[in-house]
């Protein structure tokens, strides 16, 4: 009887590990091929891993809450529930070779992998040889003046991670805090936390507290936000926008739209479509910074923040600059539904060039969001509220919305941010019915 390994798949470029958040099966369960059997979380996506064959789950090789790496064996599946499987007898994970591959080809492949490679452009000023690391890590090393060749990598195959850079930097966190799967968040002084009395409770400044560890996703979000504020000087500008035209278009078309498309027409596609048009006029907000070079992106990939259980995820509408309002609405609905059912793929959350977050959906009037690195700007959408406004020197009730643009002041000046938001406002206030 055959034994099939469930292997941790690649979750995208630069992502070499994930947190096993939940097993959906237990040992002895019968599963179908491609049925979801566990959930994993990275800093980019929260998704399910499926069974690689039909059969019985015989061994679970990793525990919930454990950090697992790409190509690690997570479970064993057998065709028969009585097939003997010895602990540790599964073959070590290896790169699968195509059928019919000869020995010479395999040797050539091995030689190719071990041969020195040209360093990536981001590495040229900080490393003297080939170093396995992500662009973010190389950027951090350059800013801190660290030579990557002096850093010992703790990631897969010696890859240098952000935690390794932080551990190496004497002015940052202590190395002991960056080991394992712990978050690089500051801890409270132990002097403020004590256990008193026979109840065994933990107290902070005399107030009883209940300690609950962050989820892996919450830790990753926290690390990412702290890093963004550390790297980028954030500036926010806010405009008030008259949403009367958008309001009227949606009111006149929403029933017909829902009947034709099968989902509701919300304000968000209008806002994303207008943001795309404003980016075309002011491409500086669609860039990234590499040292003293500004990288202008050839595509407009709109990241749309979606609230999910115990976290936030930002799926990306790829090539949004080529889509009309209907195309954006369809893509957005698909991504939101898959985000909330944990069906996103790693590619769905990669490659964003500009982000939109909509706390207005929860009633927030305005916001000051944190930039999603390595982007340089993020649009915050406030609630659309009917209020008194002066229109043609007369008082009128209008649906009004506050929109904020938070931008990286290293790349965008106050004038540049205001001009983009002014264009965004003008597009919405003069929007033509596309239906």
Active-site residue, 150 included: no
Q: DSSP 3-state assignment of 256?
A: helix
Q: H or E element: which one contains 23?
A: strand 17-23
Bridge partners, residue 401, by sequence: 241, 384
The three-state secondary structure class of 315 is coil
From the list 28, 86, 22, 89, the residue with the least C-alpha distance to 57 is 28
User: Is residue 321 packed enough to be buried (19+ CB in 10 Å), middle (13-18) or exposed (0-12)?
Assistant: middle
Q: What does the CA dihedral 110, 114, 115, 120 come to, rounded to 10 degrees? A: 120
With a CB cutoff of 8 Å and minimum separation 6, the contacts of 424 are: 239, 241, 274, 275, 278, 379, 403, 405
Q: Are 397 and 388 in contact (CB under 8 A)?
A: yes
Active site residue 409: yes
Rounded CA separation 368/176 (Å):
34
Torsional sign, CA 375, 377, 379, 380:
positive
Q: Exactly one of 169, 223, 242, 409 is catalytic; which is it?
A: 409
Distance between CA atoms of residues 341 and 338, nearest Å: 5
Q: Is the dihedral of CA 93, 99, 103, 106 positive or negative?
A: negative
384, 360 Cβ separation under 8 angstroms:
yes
Choice among 80, 150, 248, 413 that is catalytic: 413
Spatial separation of the C-alpha atoms in residues 291 and 405, rounded to whole Å: 23
Give 364-397 as a DSSP string.
-S---PPP-TT-SEEEEEEEEEEEEEEETTEEEE
Query: Cβ contacts of residue 283 below 8 Å, gap of 6+?
Result: 296, 297
User: Is the Cβ–Cβ distance between 301 and 418 less than 8 Å?
Assistant: no
The H helix count followed by the E strand count for the chain is 8, 21
**Strands across the sheet with 36-41, in order?**
46-50, 36-41, 17-23, 67-69
Q: Which residues are catalytic?
A: 409, 413
């Amino acid at each position: 009887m055959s034994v099939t390994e469930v292997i941790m798949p690649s979750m995208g470029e630069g992502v070499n590990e994930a947190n096993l958040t939940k097993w959906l099966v237990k040992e002895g369960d019968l599963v179908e091929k491609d049925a979801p059997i566990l959930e994993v979380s990275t800093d980019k996506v929260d998704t399910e891993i499926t069974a690689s064959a039909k059969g019985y789950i015989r061994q679970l090789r990793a525990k919930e809450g454990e950090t697992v790496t790409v190509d690690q064996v997570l479970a064993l599946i057998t065709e028969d529930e009585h097939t003997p499987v010895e602990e540790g007898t599964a073959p070590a994970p290896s790169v699968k070779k195509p059928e019919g591959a000869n020995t010479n080809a395999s040797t050539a492949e091995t030689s190719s992998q071990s041969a020195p490679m040209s360093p990536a452009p981001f590495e040229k000023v900080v490393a003297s040889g080939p170093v396995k690391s992500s662009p973010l890590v190389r950027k951090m090393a350059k800013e801190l003046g660290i030579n990557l060749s002096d850093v010992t990598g703790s990631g897969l195959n010696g890859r240098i991670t952000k935690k390794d850079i932080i551990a190496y930097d004497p002015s940052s966190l202590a190395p002991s805090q960056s080991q394992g799967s712990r978050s690089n968040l500051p801890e409270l002084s132990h002097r403020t936390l004590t256990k008193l009395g026979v109840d065994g409770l933990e107290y902070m400044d005399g107030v009883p507290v209940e300690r609950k560890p962050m989820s892996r996703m919450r830790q990753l979000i926290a690390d990412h936000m702290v890093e963004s504020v550390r790297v980028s000087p954030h500036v926010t500008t806010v405009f008030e926008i008259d949403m009367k035209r958008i309001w009227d278009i949606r009111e006149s078309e929403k029933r017909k739209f829902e009947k034709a498309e099968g989902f509701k027409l919300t304000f968000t596609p209008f806002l994303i479509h207008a943001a795309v048009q404003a980016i075309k006029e002011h491409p500086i907000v669609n860039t990234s910074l590499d040292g003293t070079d500004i990288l202008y992106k050839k595509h407009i990939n709109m990241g749309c923040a979606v609230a999910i259980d115990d976290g936030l995820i930002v799926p990306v509408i790829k090539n949004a600059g080529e889509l009309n309002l209907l195309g954006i609405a369809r893509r957005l609905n698909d991504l939101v539904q898959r985000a909330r059912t944990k069906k996103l793929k790693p590619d769905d959350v990669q490659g964003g060039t500009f982000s939109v977050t909509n706390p207005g959906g929860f009633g927030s009037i305005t916001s000051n969001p944190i930039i999603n690195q390595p982007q340089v700007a993020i649009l915050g959408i406030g609630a659309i509220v009917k209020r008194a406004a002066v229109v043609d020197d007369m008082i009128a009730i209008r649906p009004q919305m506050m929109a904020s643009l938070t931008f990286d002041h290293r790349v965008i000046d106050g004038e540049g941010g205001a001009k983009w938001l002014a264009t965004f406002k003008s597009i919405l206030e003069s929007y033509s019915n596309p239906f």
